[in-house]
Structure 1
Amino acid sequence: MTSRLRIALIVGLAGVVLVTLIMAPMLMSTFPSFLGGGSVTDCADDSPKFANVSDTAQSDIPPEYLALYKKWGQKTGVQWTVLAAVGKRETDHGRSNLPGVKNGTNYAGAAGPMQFLISTWGGKSKIKVSSKFNGYASDGDNDGYGDVYNPADAILGAAKMLKRNGAPGDLRRALFTYNRAIWYVEQVLEIARKYASDGTLDLPPEADPACDPPIVEAAPTDVVRKILQYALAQRGKPYRWGGTGPEGYDCSGIIYMAYREAGLSIPRTTFGQWPFGKKISEGDEQAGDLVFFNAGPGTSSNNPGHVGMVVSPGKMVEARCTLCGPIKVTTYRDRPNIVGYTRPLQNPKVLEQLRSLGVT
């Protein structure tokens, strides 16, 4: 290799490292706000998905870390195996003695068992967590502080970061944002599969058909059951602007097609669906109703730009955005900018359609 080529390679590699260190905190701080909030739901706290622990995981992960991975994986809707794999790859679950794991930072400015850049943690290794956005600083042990060296805080922060950037559906994107290297993504996914007793990276309960029967059976009518069955069956498919399936949907497209599956015609777009249904007071919404948000360019409190379908109290199925991961069931009452709720089934045109179908 010539000296000129060596110099070029060294300069090129240095540039990659520099761009990574600069861009990582910028990407964390500039992702759209709509990627946050709206936690993913679960079926039950004892879901069998979180009992999926292999012998490898049992022997390799310290019990206190395993409990935290499972706890925060379930709470945020991120596969615990992926959280654990990040912890393994970064610091061997906090056992590494490399710089930055237990104190200080490494050469890149990362710290703690999950190796957060201090700039994305909130600017300091330990900060008081407030209601304001604090980077990814998190209080996992309820002491009021986000401590990057505290496993309870760091693992919760990592779960939030992965969730914000694509998990549980788009793991490759989420992991690439965590550490911008393809080899890193592949290594983490390989470890995660070894930690799962069935060797898979299945979505957590928010996309698990085992969640469906209680939701569908609780629907108020057969028509609503049919609507819910169609909508829930689309989980895991990607958001696609203007999409009405079967490969992908946008927010109003999945609702339009779910109603059509039940033999009913409603407007295609969010802007058309908002004035179409009967307005429902907050707290009175039920399965099949729609919840609207002031979100997206050109929208307002009188012209909402995003919609989800209520599947049970506090939960909705939605196709949110390209960067938000696949279609899933999420919570909505903790989301900002809710404009209101409507019941399309009470529109006079829909009532007439129901009568023609023999439904009274």
Structure 2
Amino acid sequence: MTAPPRFTSSGASTRVVRRLASAGRDWRTIAVVLIVIVPATLFGSIILMTPSPSILFGGGAAENCAEAATGEAAADVSQTAEGDIPDDYLELYKKVGKQIGVQWNVLAAIGKRETNHGRSTLPGVRSGTNYAGAAGPMQFLISTWGGQAKMRIEPGVNGYASDGDGDGYGDVYNPADAILGAAKMLKRNGAPDDLRRAIFVYNRATWYVDQVLEIAKRYAATGDIAVPAEADPACDSGYVDSAPDEVVRKIIEYALAQRGKPYRWGGTGPDAFDCSGIIYMAYRNAGLTIPRTTFGQWPFGAKIEEGREQPGDLVFFNAGPGTAKDSPGHVGMVVSPGKMIEARCTLCGPIKISTYRDRPNIVGFTRPLENETVVAQLKRAQT
């Protein structure tokens, strides 16, 4: 670990327009940013751009994701951040934060606290490990990264090793790879909603959590840590990469692909689904058979204590016809801590990601993958 950070507003601040111009943005992009940011600066408030429907529902893929990251996060960068964070690191924090759906300034605060954005000369930053076995600009334990400092990224790789620059390898010393891995770790453990839990898992000390949150506030022009909008559907890695294994990854990929489709009672696709129908089909996409209805799914999975749920688990609600506390009538699928995908009702809008922790009628959580018949299905598939 590095010493506690010192904050400074000295040094030349890099202007957003110059950043955009140097990145090859055309005049239309620069004009949009000026229209959004300049009035916000003059009147002391930040106005965030709303993504277009093509971004929200999947058009444009990675290019739109990167552009949205630059435009949206640029409005919330303080002078402290611009003076303290190297340009290449700042762009990575913003891009990856948007891609995964976590706060860019929290990522940046961890990068500051760990290695001063890769500028520390202590052991383990550019090669080897420190006294605790941590390495790289975001200070991953090699075992947590995946067992090797640099490894080819292939399906089924365990750990947080990530390929942030598209070269096919996860290199713990590469800022693009390390920052992406850090974002995935935060996302899997509660970000963007439960930041204290997510940061505590990153480094299990309450003083560390307090320091990171304080730095993050200083890096935001608003002086606050806002919960970002959902990660763009064009950048589903925020949810997909939080899957604990390849089976859950297939389940979540199918469910996410149904966003925007309507609710239909009894629906199992391909054009519409009801709440249990989308879950039933998502598990079938992974080669697994579970009960079709909510009333059948509730007793089927192993009961999971609240707070221990993970992607692929089910969350049940005392809602809908014939429902009761011991016989829930509505179900959603957990995609990250506090978030689920659900087909809620005919008048509730299309299938979408929503927050479940603010619902007052949660009955409980289950894990279908721990049902003995599913375990047997998985074993057969592996032979």
- Give the TM-score, by structure 1 length: 0.53
Give the structure 1 partner of residue 267 of structure 2.
279
User: Structure 2: how far apart are the matches of 1:178 and 1:343?
Assistant: 34
Paired residues of 1:289 and 1:344 also in contact (CA < 8 A): no
Go from structure 1 to structure 2 and tell me whether the alpha carbon gap of 1:112 and 1:173 turns closer, same or farther (over 3 Å shift). Answer: same
Instruction: Name the aligned partner's letter for residue 325 of structure 1.
Output: P
Shift of 1:178: 0.2
Matched, 1:183 2:207: yes
User: Structure 1: how far apart are the matches of 2:205 and 2:160?
Assistant: 21
Give the structure 2 partner of residue 166 of structure 1.
190
User: Structure 1: how far apart are the matches of 2:345 and 2:218?
Assistant: 47
Paired residues of 1:113 and 1:154 also in contact (CA < 8 A): yes
User: Structure 2: how far apart are the matches of 1:197 and 1:343?
Assistant: 37
Shift of 1:326: 2.6
Structure 1 counterpart of 2:220, from 165, 182, 196: 196
User: Structure 1: how far apart are the matches of 2:346 and 2:276?
Assistant: 8
> For structure 1, which runs of at least 5 residues remain unmatched after alignment?
1-41, 208-272, 309-317, 333-341, 347-360
User: Structure 1: how far apart are the matches of 2:205 and 2:150?
Assistant: 27
Secondary structure of the residue that 1:127 maps to in structure 2? strand
Matched, 1:50 2:73: yes
User: Structure 1: how far apart are the matches of 2:180 and 2:276?
Assistant: 33
Secondary structure of the residue that 1:278 maps to in structure 2? coil
> For structure 2, which runs of at least 5 residues remain unmatched after alignment?
1-54, 57-63, 232-262, 299-313, 317-330, 348-383
Paired residues of 1:290 and 1:343 also in contact (CA < 8 A): no
Instruction: Name the aligned partner's letter for residue 265 of structure 2.
Output: G
Structure 1 counterpart of 2:291, from 279, 302, 305: 302
- Identity percentage of aligned residues: 56
Paired residues of 1:277 and 1:343 also in contact (CA < 8 A): no
Give the structure 2 partner of residue 141 of structure 1.
165
Matched, 1:326 2:338: yes
User: Structure 1: how far apart are the matches of 2:99 and 2:108?
Assistant: 15
Matched, 1:104 2:124: no
Shift of 1:345: 4.5
Shift of 1:200: 1.1
C-alpha RMSD of the superposition? 3.6
- Give the TM-score, by structure 2 length: 0.50
Matched, 1:129 2:153: yes
Secondary structure of the residue that 1:292 maps to in structure 2? helix
Give the structure 1 partner of residue 101 of structure 2.
77
Report matched runs for 1:165-244 at 5 Å: 165-206=189-230
User: Structure 1: how far apart are the matches of 2:332 and 2:82?
Assistant: 36
Shift of 1:124: 0.8
Give the structure 2 partner of residue 257 of structure 1.
none
Number of equivalences:
216
Structure 2 counterpart of 1:151, from 165, 175, 180: 175
User: Structure 2: how far apart are the matches of 1:156 and 1:302?
Assistant: 36
Paired residues of 1:289 and 1:343 also in contact (CA < 8 A): no
Paired residues of 1:319 and 1:326 also in contact (CA < 8 A): no
Give the structure 1 partner of residue 142 of structure 2.
118
Shift of 1:279: 2.1
Shift of 1:281: 1.9
Paired residues of 1:172 and 1:185 also in contact (CA < 8 A): yes
Give the structure 1 partner of residue 278 of structure 2.
291
Paired residues of 1:101 and 1:149 also in contact (CA < 8 A): yes
Matched, 1:66 2:90: yes
Bigger relative CO (Cα 8 Å, ≥ 6 apart):
1
Instruction: Name the aligned partner's letter for residue 139 of structure 2.
Output: Q
Go from structure 1 to structure 2 and tell me whether the alpha carbon gap of 1:49 and 1:290 turns closer, same or farther (over 3 Å shift). Answer: farther
User: Structure 2: how far apart are the matches of 1:105 and 1:118?
Assistant: 8
Q: Which has the larger radius of gyration?
A: 1
